Chains A and B, each alone.
Chain A
Amino acid sequence: MISNLKQLVEYRELLRTLVSKDIRSRYKGSVLGFAWNFAIPLLQLLVFWVLMGIIIKVAPPGDYPFAVFLFTGLLPWNFLANSLNGGAMSVVGNANLVKKIYFPLQVLPLTSVLSQFVSLLLGMIVLFAVVIGFGVGVGPSLLLLPVPFLVQFIFILGLAYFFACGEVFYRDIEHILGIIVMAWMYLTPILYPVGRVADKARWADIGIHLNPMTGITTAYQSIILDHVQPDWFWLGYSSVVAVVFFVGGFALFNRYKFRFEEEV
């Protein structure tokens, strides 16, 4: 475990290059190029704003348009969905590297997650512009933002290792993953405020929070929109789950990585 982690540090140069390749190649050849990183979240927001604010008119849980609430939860969710997709394909999709060149393979899922993390940060710039634009403003609570970032990052990375390894042996994963992510999104308070479920009953409160993404998503919402501290208890729970998944996924990946070359 430790030596496998150390290798990640040793190969940081490769990691840096691969992440930058990933980010730059994503919109290479398109007219907007790098600007797509901002255009996509902006357009997404626009769609929600029209849908939720004008057509359906959903009441927001606070002093801001519902679209902004939704967007706050959706950006981190996109990070999860894209990272899991990219992570799952990271070994299989780089078959020629895996087969022919020696380097620590644990670099690959990390590359996918890091490059999506950069997208998340870029999306956050758009989010803050919107938050300020709608008069929500900023507060000292934003200093806590790195906490959900970190927890979510570790959690997703663990899952990415798990799926990347699984995908090598069972190609079914790439197909089922989209469905899992979609169902999981509805179980996470992104489209609705957590209170709408949690306030109903004690068991509902616990139930929805057993999903580790609940604690993370509500932390983003509290910090960015409500300028209050996150629910430390459930964020703590999410952190524990994140670390467990990371350790498990990373160990699994490293245990089987020497067979990847034969299977991809």
Chain B
Amino acid sequence: MDKDAALPAVTIKDVVKQYRVRHEKGRTLKELFLRQRIFEEKINALDHVSFDVTPGQTLGIIGANGSGKSTMLKLIAGTSRPTSGSVEVNGRVSALLELGAGFHPDFTGRENIYLDGAIMGLSREVVDERFDEIVAFAGMEEFVDAPAKTYSSGMFLRLAFSVAVNVDPDIILIDEVFAVGDESFQRKCLDRMDRFKGEGKTIMFVSHSLDSIRSFCDEALWLDKGEIKAQGAVDKVIDYYLWHVNEQEEERLSSFKGEDRDENRWGTGRAEITEVRLCGADGEQKHIFETGDKFRIRIAYSDREHAEDPVIGMSIHRHDGVHIFGVNTLEEGPAPAFLKGEGEVWFEVDRLPLLPGSYQVSVSLHNGDASENYDYHNRRFEFRVVEGPDVEVGLMHLDHQWSGWQPGEEKLDKEDIGAGGKGTGRLEAGEAGEAGDEA
């Protein structure tokens, strides 16, 4: 770590925080007198964690729920003490952990500003001085003399946030508070955070929004089950984290086997689909794709009884049930002769046009006029599409191009834009041109 600054703003040394989890809540005198121990389990919310935060650093903390992120902030804020190890903090801490914790619903906004300010350690004079700024930041000029119980939840939080950022701290702890408030307020908050950053304040930021961490933090720390998994440059840590999350999901999805019979599989069984495997370009099994990846399904079948006119069909649904695509080998022409005995067929898409989301594949084996189902796997195979390098929204990617024309100019040739390779989306310009061109 950077050692040129005199003192780290926060030093966490070998910290363990142990919580007792009781399986029956409530400790009573009976328990005390009878020396009865209700079953207790000890869990380490933080397990021998050490790191430093240099002054002026903006550190993002990421990790799954229950990984110890909030516990970490609590230790730094001082509301909790480590079971062992040490936490040293140099400077005044403002913790935006629970906004408006000190608010009283019967009091007016004005009274609450003073109350919350006092809880956060501001003197009356300082609140007097910053009062207008606090109110203006929250955009609450009209409501400041109304009781807080009449506020909407958004107004409540805006006011609380506004007090919190006016504490003038050296170290700011933020735990997912941007999630509240409307767009304009969120932007205001981020601007304010940028200003803190510019003023050289130390910021520790817990969020599940990796985008905000990426855009806002210099460094990231990934906690997993109370241990530091990675620490360092933001992009590196986030990529590593995402890779790990995908890996876990891959594991979960591949445990979803096609062999078992359940309510989502039916048919006469005269012919069988023996295996369905989703693969990428390399033929390896895969459940997470990016938009534009090669997408292949291997369907293995067995038709020992030589059922008549076997047809293989497949379809894709989005997780909410939207039917996206369906096709079968019959519609594409006569049933291939290879569908006899045992074998496999491949369904291949060169560039998967689906945008991020989760999807389910159904596969069926039936006779030519669909009067008999031999084997039907209804939405039994899941895959997920994650965001690729391009940002597009909606259900699927469309091959497209943009063209433009302004009065006074000669009409632009579509081809010019296409040739520049701009705005054609993820697919190559040539490909898109081909699809879009009338010629």
Q: A residues within 8 Å of B by Cβ? A: 11, 13-14, 16-18, 21, 24-25, 28-29, 96-103, 169-172, 258, 261-262
Contact = CB atoms under 8 A, between A and B. Distances in A.
Interface string B339-364: 00000000000000000000000000
A171 B26 contact: yes
B32 A101 contact: no
B439 interface: no
Nearest to A170: B29
Contact of B104 (A25, A98, A262): A25
B66 to A, nearest CB: 16
A262 B77 CA distance: 15
30 contacts: A13-B118, A14-B118, A17-B119, A18-B119, A21-B104, A21-B111, A25-B107, A28-B107, A97-B119, A99-B74, A99-B98, A100-B79, A100-B98, A100-B101, A101-B77, A101-B101, A101-B102, A101-B119, A102-B77, A102-B93, A103-B121, A169-B27, A171-B28, A172-B28, A172-B29, A261-B74, A261-B79, A262-B19, A262-B20, A262-B80
Contact of A258 (B80, B97, B114): B80
A17 B114 contact: yes
B115 interface: yes
Contacts of B95: 100-102
Contacts of A170: 27-29, 32
Contacts of B98: 96, 99-101
Contact of A14 (B19, B74, B78, B119): B119
A171 B119 CA distance: 26
Given A13-B124, A14-B119, A103-B119, A261 B80 contact: yes
Contacts of A28: 106-107
B197 interface: no
B123 interface: yes
A97 B95 CA distance: 12
B165 interface: no
Nearest to A14: B118
Given A17-B118, A99-B98, 17 more contacts: A17-B114, A17-B115, A18-B118, A21-B111, A25-B106, A97-B119, A99-B79, A100-B97, A100-B101, A101-B119, A101-B120, A102-B77, A103-B119, A170-B27, A170-B32, A261-B79, A261-B80
Closest 8 CB pairs of A and B: A100-B98, A17-B118, A102-B78, A258-B81, A28-B106, A14-B118, A96-B101, A172-B29
Contacts of A25: 104, 106-107
B78 to A, nearest CB: 4
Give the secondary structure class of B's interface: loop
Contacts of B118: 13-14, 16-18
Contact of B106 (A29, A97, A98): A29
Interface string B73-113: 01001111100000000000101011001101011000100
Contacts of B107: 21, 24-25, 28
A11 B122 CA distance: 10
Contacts of A11: 121
B312 to A, nearest CB: 58
A16 B97 CA distance: 24
A29 B149 CA distance: 12
A56 B104 CA distance: 45
A262 B80 CA distance: 8
A258 to B, nearest CB: 4
Contacts of A21: 104, 107, 111, 115
A82 to B, nearest CB: 19
Interface string B12-45: 0000000110000011110010000000000000
A97 B102 contact: yes
A100 B71 CA distance: 11
A30 to B, nearest CB: 11
Contacts of B115: 17-18, 21
Contacts of B81: 258
A102 B95 CA distance: 8
Interface in B56-78: 74, 77-78
Nearest to A10: B121
Contacts of A14: 118-119, 121
A29 B107 CA distance: 10
A102 B115 CA distance: 15
Contacts of B27: 169-171
A33 B97 CA distance: 34
A13 to B, nearest CB: 5
Contacts of B20: 262
A201 B123 CA distance: 57
A29 B111 CA distance: 15
B136 to A, nearest CB: 22
Interface in B101-149: 101-102, 104, 106-107, 111, 114-115, 118-124
